[in-house]
Amino acid sequence: MATDLIERITLPKRRTPVYKCVDVLVWGGGVSGVCAAVTAARAGGNVLLVERNVVLGGNAPLSFAIDLPVSAGGLGAEIKARLVASGEAALDAATGGLAYEPEALKYVLLDLAQEAAVQLLLSSWVSTPIMDEGAVRGAMVENKSGRFAIPAKIVIDATGDGELALRAGADVREHDGRSAMHMRFRLGEVDIERALAGAADWPDLVAKAKREGRLCAEQPASIVVSGLTDMWKRRSTLYVQGPVLEG
């Protein structure tokens, strides 16, 4: 078969087993998805949360987005209170706000989900919505165990990209602007007091490294650090901002 001429293929029909039926199916185990699932479960729903990663939290802990947003109430305030009470969130001298330990957030979200009896399906992908007269009534899920169906009365798309909503035919609008992004990296075994003592020289060091080709042009003009809390000082750990990339 000349594969270079193939544009599409037709798959044979097959029976797909049903994994389980639930009241609420949430796709996406970031902070928003966990909050949606926990809220539904606390209200008495039979809830299943599907997440592609092996941990909860999404980009928040995985990209070291350690800044803790201000939440006046709700689950955001509850998450903050648990992190602070555990000693894993504290005032960041670099930003003036609260910063949290990424690993701790994973466990706080897992505790919230388990306490609310949210069922978890990790390392799994939702591939196709199950449609019934124009309404989403579940989804097809795939993982190492194969492909199966999860019928649901309510489906919540918490992917951050609206992937399931798009596949279900929801109206979408293209973003008409460009967004910048950056990721932090974490350094260990740092003598933080000694490092900060040389902060005045950082812009010159960065400029020299750029001229010599050791740093890319997108790197900030100086070394931008965060996570200056007593907790991370004791652990000799420092978070550093990487290049800002225009999207």
pLDDT tens, position by position, 116-165 = 999 999 999 999 999 999 999 999 999 999 999 999 999 999 998 888 99
- Whether the pTM exceeds 0.85: the reply is yes
Residue 137 to residue 129: CA distance in whole angstroms: 7
Give the Cβ contact number of residue 88 at 10 Å.
19
Contact 229, 99 (CB under 8 A): yes
Tokens of 229: 């809390």
* Residue listed under structure tokens 């965060």: 226
Which one of 41-45, 63-67, 72-76 scores highest in mean pLDDT?
A: 41-45
Give the pLDDT of residue 107.
96
pLDDT tens, position by position, 162-209 = 889 999 999 887 777 666 677 788 999 999 999 899 999 999 999 999
Tokens of 230: 């007593």
Give the pLDDT of residue 197.
93
Tokens of 85: 């009470």
Give the pLDDT of residue 177.
67
